[in-house]
Structure 1
Amino acid sequence: MKPTDEALAERRARVAKRWELTDEVVLLRAGEPASWSGTDQHFAFLPHPDVAYLTAVGSPGTTLAFDAAAGEWELFGPRFSPERLVWEQPPTPVGRPLDELGDWLAERGDRSVIELGAGAEMPETLPAAAAKAESDTPATDGDDQPSSAPDDSTPEQVDASPATMVVRLGAAIALERITKDPAELDDIRCAAAASASGFDWVYANAAAGMTEREIQVGMEAQFFAAGAPRVAYDSIVASGSHGAYLHYVYAGDDPLRPATRTVEAGDLLLIDAGAQFGGYASDVTRTMVVGADPTDEQEFLWKLVLSAQQQTIDMCRPGIVWREVHLASARILGAGLVEMGVLRGDPAELVTQGAVALFFPHGLGHLLGLSVHDITSVPYSRTPSDDPVLSRLGPERVLAADMVTTVEPGVYFIDALLCDPARREKFADSVVWDRVDELRGFGGIRIEDDVLVTDAEPEVLTAAIAKPIRIG
C-alpha cells in the first residue's frame, strides 16, 4: 500500500521536529544509476532508503528539499528530454521538474545547504554527532516515542560542521525509520506473501538431482509471479557443505563462469531468500533435508535451531534489550552442542568465552525494512565490541512496538573457523575436536523469520511459510 499524502506529511513532520533546524536548507537525493565499467549499461537502481521513506518515490534523480526557515518541504522529480524518450520510458512525474531545483535554491540566497541521501559524504565515525541525534528532543511523545532509550546524561556538545550535520540529520531519519507505520507494514506483509509462494514451490518441486541454480530460478520465478518486482537480496541456495558459507550465492566463485552444485539425496539444503515489495524486504531462511530421512545429527541440530528460534521469538517484546535475546539463543545452542558431544562445559560459560561463536558466528537478527539490514548506514554512538559473542551485533537497541526484526539462529561447521590451529589450541578444553572432525562437510542449519514487535504477542510476518525438515 503506497502511503497517503497525509502519512508522508506526518513522516516529514516528525523528521523536521527531530532535526531542530532554524535556517538551513536540506537536500535529500535519491541518487543515480551506477554504470557498468566499460559498457553503456547500468546496475539495477534503488533509491536511497531515506528518500524512499519520505517520498515513496523510486525514480533516479528524485530530490526532496526542506526549507527550515519556512518549515516547508518541496519535491523535485526528473523529466526526460525528447531525445531520451526515444530510448527510455519516462518516470512518473512527481513534484516540480528537477530542472527548477537550481532556481529554488537561488531564491534562498547564501543560506547553509546540507546534502543527505545518495552522494552525501558520510564520515566513518562521528560518535558524538550520532549520540546527539539519539539524545535530542524526541520527535514523538508518549507511547509513540522510540524506545532506543538513551541515558539521561547531558549530551556531548558537537560542532555544526557539514560532516557532523550530515551524521546528526541522517541519524535522526534513521530513528524515525526504526518503527514501521501501517503502510510500511502492509508492504512487508506483501513481500512475505510473495516469498511464501516461492518457498511453496521449493517444497513441492525441489529434489535430489536438481542443481542449486535450478531451484533458485524456480523459486524466484514464483516471487515475481506473486507480484514482487525484484528479490530483496541475492538468494542463498546452498546445498551440502555450501551451507557453511553464511552468504553463499550463485556466481560468488566466478561471475563469468559460475559453478552450481547438484543436490544429492540426504543433503541439507539451506535457502535464505526473500521478495521485495514497495521497496520493503522480506528475509526468510529454511533448511531441509532433500530426498532422504534426516540423519540423527541433522534431526538433532535442526530441532535445536528451531527450538532456539521459537524461544527467542517469544522474547521479542517492548523493553527487551536485543543483546539479551541474542545471548539467550547462544546459550540454547550451546546447551544443545554440549548434549551432542561437540562442546564440553557449562553452556553459559561456553558462550562467554566464545566457544559457541565458533558454531554460531553471526548475530541473531537485524532490523528489516527498506533495506534488508535496515538502519545500518548511520554510525551510532555504540562502540563495536571486541567480544567474539557480541562483535556481530549492531547498535545497541531496546525493542519497541512496531519494530520489525529477523530472528535467525543457526549452527554451522565452517572449516575456516574449525580448522584454524590457533582456535583449536585456544578451545582445546571446550571443544571436542574429534567429534567436530566427524562433522566436517556437514554444512549449516539456519531458520529465519521476520517478526513484528507488538504491545502484545510477537507477530511472525512470515508464519505462512512452512518449516519442513524433509522435502523430496
Structure 2
Amino acid sequence: MKPTDEVLAERRARVAKRWELTDEVVVLRAGEPASWSGTDQHFAFLPHPDIAYLTAVGSPGTTLAFDAAAGEWELFGPRFTSERLVWEQPPTPVGQPLDELGAWLEQRGERTVIELGAGAAMPQALPSSAAPDKADTPDADTADAAAETAPGDNADEHADASTEATVLRLSAAIALERMTKDDAELDDIRQAAAASTAGFEWVYQHAAPGMTEREIQVGMEAQFYAAGAPRVAYDSIVASGPHGAYLHYVYAGDDPLRPATRTVEAGDLLLIDAGAQFGGYASDVTRTMVVGADPTDEQEFLWKLVLSAQQQTIDMCRPGIVWKEVHLAAARILGAGLVELGVLQGDPAELVSAGAVALFFPHGLGHLLGLSVHDITSIPYSREPSDDPVLSKLGPDRVLGPGMVTTVEPGIYFIDALLCDPARREKFAESVVWERVDELRGFGGIRIEDDVLVTDGDPEVLTAAIDKPIRIG
C-alpha cells in the first residue's frame, strides 16, 4: 500500500523534530544507477532507503530538500529530454523539475547545506565518547562532542569531524523513525511475504532429486513475480547438500562467467534462503528440507533442534527485550542439542560463552527488516564492536519495541573453514568431540527463518503462511 500524502507528511515531521535544526538546509538524494561497463545498460537501481521512506518514490535522481528555517520540505524529480525519451520511458513526474534544485539552493544564500542519502560521506562510527547509548535517541550535542574528540589539532580536521558527526546524527534520526513500521510499511512487507509464500509452495510441490539448484531457484522466483513482486529482495540462496555450509551460497558465486550448479540428490538437505520484495520492502525467509528421502537420524534431530530454537526465541520477541538476550538464548538451546548429539561436551552455557557453539552457529540470530534486508544499518553505533565470537556477528543490539520487524533465523552448520582449522581444533580440544564432527563433515547446514513483528502482545509471524516441511519430493 503506497503511503498517503498525510502519512508521508507525518514521517517528515517526526524526522524534522528529531533533527532539531534551526537554519541549515538538508538535501537527501536517491542516487543514480551505475553503468554496466561496455554497454548502454545500467545495473538494477534501488533508491537510498531514507529517501524511499520519506517520499515513496523510487526513481533515480529523486531529491528531497528541507529548509530548517522555514520548516518546509521540497521534492524534486527528474524530467527527460526529448532525445532521452526516444530510448527510455520517463519516470513518473514528482515535485519540481530536478534542474531547478540549484536555483532553489541559491535562494537560501550562504546557509549550511548538509548532504544525506546516496553519496553522503558516512563515517563508520562516532568516537566512543560521542556515541549515544544504544537505547537512546542521538541528541543535538553529538556533532559537537564528535568534533571535540576528533584526533588532530588542525581546524580542517575538526571541521571534517563535525560534518561527519552531523551527517551520522541526521541519518541516525531517520533510521530511528524507520525502525518502527507504520501500517503502510507493514502492508508492503505482508505483500512481499505473500509473494514469497507462492514461491516456497512451488518448491514444496516441484523440487525433487535430479533437479539442479538453478532450476529450483528459477521456478521459485518465477512464482514471486507471478504473485506481483517486482523483484527479489536479495540474491536467492538455493544450496543443496554440502553447499548449505556456505552461509551466503549463491548461483554464480564461483564464476560469474561460467557458473556451476549442483544437481540435488535423494537425501540431500536443501536450504533455501529467499524472499520477494514489494513496494521497496523486503521479506526474508529460510526453509531447509530433506529432498526425496526420509531424513537420517542426524538430519531429523538437528532440524527439530533448529526449529525448537526458533520457536522459543520468536516467543521472546516482545517489547523491552534486549536482542542480545534473544540471541544468547538461541545459542544455549543449540548448544544443549549439540551436547545431546555428542558433538559438544560440557555445560551449554559455558560452551556458548567460550565460543564453542559459535563454531556451529556462527552468525547472529537475526536482523531488522524493512526497506533494506538488513535494515537500519545507518546507525553504526548501535553497539560497540565485539571480538567475542558469540557476539561479533550479532548485528544491532537494540531493545525491541512495538512496530519493529526482525528476522529470527537460528542455524546449525558443519563448515570446513571453521572445523578443519588446526588452531580451533587445539583451542576447543576439550569441548568439541572432533571424531563426531568429522563423521558429519559434508552435512551442510540447517537454517529456519521467519519475519516477526513485535507487537504490544504476542509476536506476529508475518511469514507464518509458509509451511515448514522436513521432507519434500
> Normalization by structure 2: what TM-score?
0.95
Q: What is the CA-CA distance between 1:396 and the residue it aligns to?
A: 2.0
> d(CA) in 2 for partners of 1:66 and 1:356?
49
Deviates most, 121-130 or 2-11: 121-130
Q: What is the CA-CA distance between 1:274 and the residue it aligns to?
A: 0.1
Q: For each residue in 1:93-126, what CA deviation from the matched residue of structure 2 results, as whole angstroms up to 9, or x when unmatched?
A: 0001001101100110111000000000112222
SS of 2:28 mapped into structure 1: strand
In the superposition, relative to structure 1, how do residues 108 and 100 fare at CA in structure 2: closer, same or farther (>3 Å)? same
Please say if residues 284 and 449 of structure 2, whose CA atoms lie closer than 8 Å, have aligned partners that are also in contact: yes
> d(CA) in 1 for partners of 2:225 and 2:407?
22
> d(CA) in 1 for partners of 2:257 and 2:410?
33
What is the aligned partner in structure 2 of residue 297 from structure 1?
298
The 5-angstrom pairing of residues 331-346 of structure 1 reads 331-346=332-347
Which amino acid in the other structure matches residue 391 of structure 2? L
Q: What is the CA-CA distance between 1:42 and the residue it aligns to?
A: 0.8
> d(CA) in 1 for partners of 2:137 and 2:305?
35
1:59 correspondence with 2:35: no
What is the aligned partner in structure 2 of residue 320 from structure 1?
321
What is the aligned partner in structure 1 of residue 77 from structure 2?
77
Q: What is the CA-CA distance between 1:38 and the residue it aligns to?
A: 3.0
Q: What is the CA-CA distance between 1:267 and the residue it aligns to?
A: 0.2
Deviates most, 376-385 or 256-265: 376-385
SS of 2:205 mapped into structure 1: helix
Please say if residues 171 and 380 of structure 1, whose CA atoms lie closer than 8 Å, have aligned partners that are also in contact: no
What is the aligned partner in structure 1 of residue 145 from structure 2?
157
Which amino acid in the other structure matches residue 453 of structure 1? V
The 5-angstrom pairing of residues 286-435 of structure 1 reads 286-380=287-381, 382-435=383-436
Q: What is the CA-CA distance between 1:44 and the residue it aligns to?
A: 0.1
Q: How many residues align?
A: 458
> d(CA) in 2 for partners of 1:74 and 1:254?
45
Q: What is the CA-CA distance between 1:383 and the residue it aligns to?
A: 1.6
CA RMSD in angstroms comes to: 1.5
Q: For each residue in 1:11-68, what CA deviation from the matched residue of structure 2 results, as whole angstroms up to 9, or x when unmatched?
A: 0000000000000000000000011223322100000000000000000000000000
> d(CA) in 2 for partners of 1:89 and 1:189?
29
What is the aligned partner in structure 2 of residue 17 from structure 1?
17
The 5-angstrom pairing of residues 121-160 of structure 1 reads 121-127=121-127, 131-132=131-132, 148-149=135-136, 157-159=145-147
Please say if residues 127 and 381 of structure 1, whose CA atoms lie closer than 8 Å, have aligned partners that are also in contact: no
What is the aligned partner in structure 1 of residue 248 from structure 2?
247
Deviates most, 387-396 or 446-455: 387-396
> d(CA) in 1 for partners of 2:318 and 2:37?
47
The 5-angstrom pairing of residues 430-469 of structure 1 reads 430-469=431-470
In the superposition, relative to structure 1, how do residues 275 and 93 fare at CA in structure 2: closer, same or farther (>3 Å)? same
Q: What is the CA-CA distance between 1:162 and the residue it aligns to?
A: 1.8
Point out 4+ residue stretches in structure 1 off by more than 6 angstroms.
Answer: none
1:269 correspondence with 2:270: yes
In the superposition, relative to structure 1, how do residues 35 and 297 fare at CA in structure 2: closer, same or farther (>3 Å)? same
> Normalization by structure 1: what TM-score?
0.95
Q: For each residue in 1:376-432, what CA deviation from the matched residue of structure 2 results, as whole angstroms up to 9, or x when unmatched?
A: 133215221110000001232000000000000000000000000000000000000
Please say if residues 130 and 146 of structure 2, whose CA atoms lie closer than 8 Å, have aligned partners that are also in contact: no
Please say if residues 130 and 168 of structure 1, whose CA atoms lie closer than 8 Å, have aligned partners that are also in contact: no
SS of 1:261 mapped into structure 2: coil
> d(CA) in 1 for partners of 2:357 and 2:329?
12
> d(CA) in 1 for partners of 2:129 and 2:281?
28
1:6 correspondence with 2:6: yes
The 5-angstrom pairing of residues 99-114 of structure 1 reads 99-114=99-114
In the superposition, relative to structure 1, how do residues 211 and 87 fare at CA in structure 2: closer, same or farther (>3 Å)? same
Deviates most, 276-285 or 169-178: 169-178
Please say if residues 129 and 165 of structure 1, whose CA atoms lie closer than 8 Å, have aligned partners that are also in contact: no
What is the aligned partner in structure 2 of residue 86 from structure 1?
86
Q: For each residue in 1:411-456, what CA deviation from the matched residue of structure 2 results, as whole angstroms up to 9, or x when unmatched?
A: 0000000000000000000000000000000000000000000001
Which amino acid in the other structure matches residue 348 of structure 1? A
In the superposition, relative to structure 1, how do residues 451 and 439 fare at CA in structure 2: closer, same or farther (>3 Å)? same
In the superposition, relative to structure 1, how do residues 295 and 435 fare at CA in structure 2: closer, same or farther (>3 Å)? same
Q: What is the CA-CA distance between 1:208 and the residue it aligns to?
A: 0.3
Gaps of 5+ in 1: 136-147
Which amino acid in the other structure matches residue 53 of structure 1? Y
Q: For each residue in 1:278-329, what CA deviation from the matched residue of structure 2 results, as whole angstroms up to 9, or x when unmatched?
A: 0000000000000000000000000000000000000000000000000000
Please say if residues 244 and 414 of structure 1, whose CA atoms lie closer than 8 Å, have aligned partners that are also in contact: yes
